[in-house]
Amino acid sequence: MWRRSGARALLLLRSSIHRPLPPPPSPLRALTRAPPPPRPLSRFLSSSPEPLPDAGGGAASASSDPTDAGEDGLASDPTEAGEDNLASLWEEDAGDADDVFAADASPDPADAVVDEVLAARVGAVVESTPEDQIPSALADMVVDFNEPLLAAILVSAAESCSGKKLLLLFKSAGKNNPAAKSLANLEIVVDKIADSDEIDKMDVYLLWDLVKEMGAVPGSVNTQVLNKLLAMFWKLEKSKAALEAFDMFSELGCAPDGDSYYLAIQAAGRKSMVDAAWRVCDGMISSGCFPDGEKVGDIVMFFCKKKKVKEAHSVYITAKEKKVQAPTSALTFLVSALARNDETINTALELLEEYQGESLKDAGQSYAAVIHGLCNTNNVEDAKKVLMRMVNLGPAPGSAVFNFVITALSKNGEMEDAKGLMRVMENQGICPDIYTYSVIMSGYAKGGMMDEAHALLRDAKRIHPRLSRVTYHTLIRGYCKMEEFEKALECLKEMKEDGMEPNMDEYNKLIQSLCLKALDWRTAENLLKEMEDGGLCLKGTTRSLIAAVKELEMDELSKASQEA
C-alpha cells in the first residue's frame, strides 16, 4: 500500500508544478518562447536525491521540514513523520517513480494542451497577412509548432482564409517542426481547397507537389486525399495531371478504391482521352474494385457515347458479378447502343433478360431499340417473337414498335403476318395509324395485290378522315406498275375528291407511265394542262417525252397513210 501511495504522491508532486501563462498579445512584438518554469522540487525529482536530515542534524540543517523524534524513535507529528520519511519513501519507490516519469517523458502529441491564445495570434497573422508574405511573417514569429497547435490554427483559419493561405501555413509549420505535417492536418488543407467555390489551378498544383513530397513518408497520404485531388483535376479539366496522380497511387503507398477508378475515368473523358480511360477501366475490372452503382452507370454510358459499346458491356457485366448493379437508365442506354450495331444486336437481345419484375415497366425503350435493330438486320422472326413477348408479358408495346415489325414483314412480302399484327394492335386497344395502313398497302402493291391494297385504303378512310399523300401515291404507282392506267386515274380523281391535291410526283409518274407504256400522249397532255392550271410545273424531260410520243404517233400515221 505504501509503495502505491508513494508513487501517487510523486505524481501529485509533479502535477502541482504550474507552468506560467504566456504573455498577453502585443501587436508590436513578435512572439517569444516562454522561459522554462523553476523547479523548486528538483531535489525530490533527482535521480540521486539526498536524504532529508534527521532530528539530530542541528540548526545547520537547511530543510524546511525538520522532525523531532521521540525516545522510541517514532515521529512526534503523525502528518510529517512515519515509519519512513520522504527520503526513504523515494528510495523505496525510486523504481516506480522512474517508470512513471519515463512514461510521461514522451507524451502523445495528440494529448498536448493547445495554447488557445497562441493559436489565435498565429491565426490572426495568417488572416491579415498577404499570401506572398505569409512564409516570412511566420518565420519571424518564434512559434514551436506541433500537430495539435497547427490543427487548431488550421480549423480556425479555414473559416476566413483562402486555401492557399492554409497551404502556406501548413508548409511553414512543417519547416519549423516536420511532425506537425500530419495526415490529419493535410486533410484539413485538402478539404478547404476542394470545397472552394472556385478551385484555383495553381493551388491544386501546389497541393499536388506537397502530397508527392509527403508521400515519401509511409502513412502521410491516404486514398481519400488522392481521390480529392483527382476530383479537383477533373473539375479543372486537367486530364493528364489526374492520370499522373492516379498512376502514382502505389508509389505513394496507397491503393485505389472504386472512387479512384471512377474519378480517373471521368477526368480522362473530359479531354476525350478514351484509350487512357479504358486503360484505367481495364485495371478496375481486373481488380474487381468498383464504385457504387450510380457511378458504374456513368462509366457505362461514357463508353457507349464514345462508341465503345463492347467495353461498356464488359463493365456492366463484371460489376454485376461483383454485386454492383448499375441503374436501369444505364442499362437502357447500353441496350440501345448495342442494338444500333449489327455486330452487337444479339448481345442487346440477351440483355433484355435483365428486365424482371418491376423493372419491366421501364423496359419499353430497350425493347423498341432491340426490335428496330433486329428488323434492320432483317431478323424479322426474332423481332416478331420479342414483340409478342411484350404483348404477353410487358412492357406494353406502342404503335411505333408494331410498325417496325409490320414494315419489315411488308418489305419481305409476308402480308398475312403483317395484317395479323395489325389485328393484334387493335386487340391491344391501339388504333393503327396512317403509316400502318400505308406500309401494308405498299407491301400489297409491291406484290401486285392491288385489290387488297385498295380495300385497305377504304378501311383506312373509315378510321382516318384525312389520309396522307403517300397513301394515294402508293396506289397510283402500284396501278401504273400493273399498267392499269384507268384505275390509276380513278385513284388520282379520288385523291382530289378526298381534299388531297396531287403534287408533281403523282402527275409525273402517271404521265411517264402513259407515254412509255401506253403511248397515250393525249391523256398525258390533259394531265399536263391540269397540272399547269393547278400552278404546277412539269419537268422538262417529261414534257419532252409527251412531245416525242406525239411526234412518234404522227410519224406512224403519216407513214401508214403513205403506204395506203
| Tens digits of residue pLDDT in 421-450 | 999 999 999 999 999 999 999 999 999 999
CB 141 within 8 A of CB 30: yes
Write 15-18 long-range contacts (CB < 8 A, 24+): 17/41
CB 249 within 8 A of CB 223: yes
Residue 323 CA to residue 181 CA, distance in Å, equals 39
Tell me: pLDDT of 193 over 70. Answer: yes
- At residue 372, the pLDDT reads 97
Q: 87 or 545, which is more confident?
A: 545
Domain boundaries, the chain: 114-214, 222-326
CB 76 within 8 A of CB 110: no
Residue 217 is classified by DSSP as S
Q: Which amino acid is at 470?
A: V
368-393 pLDDT per residue, tens: 999 999 999 999 999 999 999 999 99
Tell me: pLDDT of 25 over 50. Answer: no
Q: How high does pLDDT run on average in the chain?
A: 83
H or E element, residue 5: helix 2-15
Distant-in-sequence, close-in-space partners of 558: CB < 8 Å, separation ≥ 6: none
* Closest to 457 in 3D by CA, of 435, 472, 478, 473: 472
Indicate the pLDDT class of residue 108, thresholds 50, 70 and 90: low
The phi and psi torsions of 75 (rounded to 5 degrees) equal: -70, 140
Indicate the pLDDT class of residue 65, thresholds 50, 70 and 90: very low
Beta bridge partners of 102: none
Q: Do you find a cis peptide bond into 25, omega within 30 degrees of 0?
A: no
Q: 41 or 478, which is more confident?
A: 478
- Predicted TM-score (pTM) of the model is 0.73
Question: Of 109-123, 217-231, 407-421, where does mean pLDDT reach its minimum?
Answer: 109-123
Residue 395 CA to residue 363 CA, distance in Å, equals 6
Question: Of 57-66, 193-202, 474-483, where does mean pLDDT reach its minimum?
Answer: 57-66
333-364 pLDDT per residue, tens: 999 999 999 999 999 999 999 998 888 989 99
Query: Helix 434-446 to helix 399-411 angle, to the nearest 10 degrees?
Result: 10
Residue 55 CA to residue 162 CA, distance in Å, equals 69
267-296 pLDDT per residue, tens: 999 999 999 999 999 999 999 999 999 999
